[in-house]
Amino acid sequence: MSAQNPVPGAAGIFYLQSVMETASGFKLDADGKFEFFFSQGALDRYASGQWKQEGDLVVFNSKPRPSQDFALLQNRQADTPGVVVQITDANSFLLDYVHVTIEGDGQKQQLVTDRHGAAFFKPQPVEAISLQFEFCPEKISVFKFTEAARGRNYFSFRYEPWLFELFLENFELKLTEAGLKGNHPLLRGKEFLYRRANQ
């Protein structure tokens, strides 16, 4: 059955049950669109896309995931003895949670950015930089540099607008009388129940 014509009765709002200090759920529209939300402390994640029903399974798909969650702003030679990776963002809370790995010439170093968004490495050639935001651990962006750029030692990046967006691919939940049952896109552990609102 197509996403435009889901089985009647599956549409509705479903809230995650029995997970402390966490608000999460799915909103399934009758036209086959869905919205997902997740809030835990100061962290908010979201997703959207199309859903369809196949028997007693509800299948969720978002648009294709972008290849990178950071954008390279600068790579240049700077007057510093080491390698600097700088993250920029208007929200200072996001600056000091980026895990940075630099690789080149058989060498590898790993650091976490400081509260100013900077990571200062010992001198080495840079052939690749990997960036991972601590609160979106499933997202790792890898930037590879051509031989002409490998002598540079200052690299600045910014977050892409979709940093906190989830991209679901054939994510399945089982439709039961109690609600939707199955895994959670972000949480590990037991089978979760998403109870239909007003039920």
pLDDT greater than 70 at residue 4: no
- The verdict on residue 3 lying in a domain is no
pLDDT greater than 70 at residue 196: yes
For residues 81 and 144, membership in a common domain is answered with yes
**How open is the CA angle 39-182-40, to the nearest 5 degrees?**
10
pLDDT greater than 80 at residue 87: yes
For the segment 167-192, what is each residue's pLDDT rounded down to a tens digit?
Answer: 999 999 999 989 999 999 999 877 99
Domain coverage including residue 29: 12-62+166-196
For residues 76 and 150, membership in a common domain is answered with yes
Q: Are 187 and 19 a contacting pair, CB within 8 Å? A: yes
Residue indicated by tokens 């977050």 = 159
How many domains does the chain contain in total? 2
Q: How far lies 116's CA from each of 4, 99, 145, in Å?
A: 47, 14, 25
Cα separation, 117 vs 178, in Å, equals 46
8-state DSSP, 7: P
For residues 108 and 74, membership in a common domain is answered with yes
For the segment 108-164, what is each residue's pLDDT rounded down to a tens digit?
Answer: 999 999 999 999 999 999 999 999 999 999 999 999 998 767 779 999 999 999 999
Cα separation, 29 vs 37, in Å, equals 14
What is the model's pLDDT at position 199?
A: 60
- The verdict on residue 75 lying in a domain is yes
Domain CATH code at residue 187: 2.40.128
For residues 81 and 125, membership in a common domain is answered with yes
pLDDT greater than 70 at residue 165: yes
159 token code pair: 């977050």
- The verdict on residue 47 lying in a domain is yes
Cα separation, 26 vs 35, in Å, equals 6
Residue indicated by tokens 């199309």 = 50
For residues 75 and 151, membership in a common domain is answered with yes
Mean pLDDT across 60-66 = 95
For residues 117 and 95, membership in a common domain is answered with yes
Closest CA to 126 of 168, 185, 77: 77
Give the residue with greater pLDDT, 50 vs 79.
Answer: 50
- The verdict on residue 5 lying in a domain is no
pLDDT greater than 80 at residue 107: yes
Give the residue with greater pLDDT, 51 vs 93.
Answer: 51
pLDDT greater than 60 at residue 1: no
